[in-house]
Structure 1
Amino acid sequence: MIKKREWALIASLITLLILLITTYTKDGAIQFRRLFNEPPSGANIEDIKGDSLQIYFCPEDRCEDALVSLIANSKKNISVAMYSFTSRDSSTALVDAAKRGVEVRVYLNNDQRNEKYSKAGFLRKKGIPVKLHDHDGLMHNKFAIIDEEIVATGSFNWTASADTRNDENLVLIKNKKASEAYKKKFDALWERERQ
């Protein structure tokens, strides 16, 4: 049997939850309805039949090797949105792809402007367009779209630490709908920046 004190605690927790939702959202009532009654609004890919999904865990799976191979086999274009990008091998692979005629674009979080090991300057010197996120909040995405067919995403930043020390994941998705959703997001990020 639940005691009076426990009921008070449960009621307080529910009240706190409602208060937090209504306080920290622009329209608390709408957000409350969405939270409890509506499905999430993210891109929903219902059928990946015939497509592929590859999952890598670092450091044991050497995520960067999979990435570099993917870049080396690209034919048309590569769009990268990355929070932290300090990897020599991945940046060299992008430069090599650009030399083969692959269109390469890189969008990074703003702190990569002054990061000592950032590859932003190196890529720009090699003629690859690089834009930096110049808005409130972090650009914390970690994804790439290759040939508008394959998405590389996960917790994996393109850094040596992510590849050899951290517990990270890299998911390669070969699916047209997923690629379109990620490309739409990348294009929106890219178009709102001037530099």
Structure 2
Amino acid sequence: MNKKNTTIGLGTLVVLAVAILSILLGEDLTQFLPITGEPAGSSTANNSLPPEPAEWYDIYFTNPTCPPEEERTGGLDEIIANDILQAETRVDVAAFDLDAEPIVDALITLEERGIEVRVVTDEDNADLSSIRRLRRNGISVVEDKRRGLMHDKFVVIDGRFLWTGSMNLTTNGVYCNNNNIVRFDSPRLAANYTTEMDEMYNDRLFGPDSPDNTPNETLTIHGIQLENYFAPEKELAPVIARAVARAQDEILFMAFSFTDDQIGEAILGRADAGVSVRGVFETTGSDTEFSYYPIMQAARLSNLEVRTDGNPRIMHHKVIIIDRETVIFGSFNFTDSANRRNDENIVIVHDPVFTGFFVEEFETVWQEAQP
């Protein structure tokens, strides 16, 4: 999973050549080489982030069979917990909801080892027994203490490994609900989330008070372009609507909640232009007057088809797929509250291979959905 490519740079070859000449001539010619490296403790070295390895992401989707609680083993909660346990310096957790016991246990274990653990949660979920247990074991948990939601779901390990997606870190989120979560091995992407965590945990800045200072909003990893944004310091509905407006052939989406006019009208606009659109709505709330489910049904376009999901629990994805080449995912529901009040994040990946995994998940959810 964490393979690295080893390469020899031009500077290394020059040093080797000079060293060989030194041996042949009997003189130390290396003394004339310029010193270009930085000592390990220098500020330049600290500000330089290592490159991403060749295998820099793993994509996961839940299998929401919802077994009895005593039979809930072998899921993503255990995979994430095992990753957390590898931490050497610090783990940051921003979790709207957190009750997955393996993850809670892992965080407590790290605290006992002397590894720094920072946790942020939403005020509405701050009295959960799991949060109280973290606090009893010496872990400081910060609450947002406001009307809007701290709706992020991310984990940063050692400033390098990032877990983010739609999945709440709960037993139901793992075992009962349709969700996605991606593990990135990218110090540059992780730095964005560390910056967001610093704002919430250190500065107690949430919602509109949070500064728009993401260090790497756009980045390229092994030739693949990514975008990464945080709400509400940046309104994300216009970002998503602009991406949707560029669709040429097809739009696929899965939406736990979809009431935002900017995104909804952008999709309808592309459907009017002949772009094929298929979407799955979470059943709960899909029939309200503000939902785009009845609006899209009423459009009566042959190239626009929407369904309600077939999971008797929750279809919790927040995903838009554009032309099978770009995928948008994260914590961001397609609502005005997410756009203007809640702490949220999205990742946009422009790559057909990466996107293809989300297409497969869409087709699974689509087949289970109700026409």
- Report the TM-score when normalising by structure 2: 0.42
Q: Which has the larger radius of gyration?
A: 2
1:12 aligned partner: none
| Match status 1:148 vs 2:324 | yes
User: What does residue 52 of structure 1 align with?
Assistant: 225
Question: What SS class does the counterpart of residue 345 from structure 2 fall into?
Answer: strand
Whether 1:113 and 2:286 are equivalent positions in the alignment is yes
C-alpha distance 44-57 of structure 1, shift in aligned 2 (>3 A) = closer
Gaps of 5+ in 1: 1-21
After TM superposition, list the pairs within 5 Å mapping 1:43-82 onto structure 2. Answer: 48-82=221-255
Q: Hey, what's the Cα distance between the residues in 1 that align with 2:270 and 2:365?
A: 22
The verdict on how the C-alpha distance between 1:23 and 1:152 changes in structure 2, with shifts beyond 3 A counting, is closer
Any idea what SS the aligned residue of 2:285 has?
helix
Q: Which residue of 1 aligns with 2:143?
A: none
Equivalent residue for 2:71?
A: 25
CA deviation string 1:79-133 (max 9, x = no partner)? 0101000011111111110111111111010013333311101111113211001
Decide whether the 8 Å contact of 2:287 with 2:294 is kept in 1.
no
Q: Which residue of 2 aligns with 1:174?
A: 350
Is the CA contact (8 Å cut-off) linking 1:112 and 1:132 kept in structure 2? no
Distance 2:69 2:333 in 1: 33
Task: Say which of 298, 302, 313 aligns to 1:125.
Answer: 298
Secondary structure in structure 2 of the residue aligned to 1:89: helix
Q: Which residue of 2 aligns with 1:102?
A: 275
| Amino acid corresponding to residue 176 of structure 1 in structure 2 | P
In 2: Cα distance, 1:108 partner to 1:46 partner: 31
Q: Which runs of structure 1 show a deviation greater than 2 angstroms over 4 or more consecutive aligned residues?
A: 22-26, 42-48, 112-116
Aligned equivalents of 2:332, 2:182: Cα separation in 1 = 21
| Residue identity in the other structure for 2:71 | T
Matched, 1:160 2:342: no
How far residue 164 of structure 1 moved from its aligned partner, in angstroms, is: 0.8
C-alpha offsets along residues 151-194 of structure 1, whole Å, 9 cap, x if unaligned? 00000011111001111111111122221000000011111224
Secondary structure of the residue that 1:183 maps to in structure 2? helix
State the one-letter code of the partner of 1:66. V
- Out of 174, 185, 192, the position equivalent to 2:361 is 185
Structure 1 contact 109–133 (Cα < 8 Å) conserved: yes
TM-score, scaled to structure 1: 0.77
Task: Provide the C-alpha distance between the structure 2 equivalents of 1:60 and 1:161, rounded to a whole number of angstroms.
Answer: 13
- Structure possessing the higher relative contact order (Cα contacts under 8 Å, 6 or more residues apart): 1
Structure 1 or 2: larger helix share? 1
Identity across matched positions, percent = 26
Aligned partner of residue 237 in structure 2, secondary structure: helix
When residues 45 and 156 of structure 1 are mapped into structure 2, their CA distance, relative to the original with a 3 A threshold, is closer
Secondary structure of the equivalent of 1:113? coil
Separation in 2, partners of 1:148, 1:44 = 21
Distance 1:52 1:102 in 2: 24
Letter of the structure 2 residue corresponding to residue 53 of structure 1: L
Q: How many residues align?
A: 168
Say whether the 8 Å CA contact 1:74–1:97 is kept in structure 2.
Answer: yes
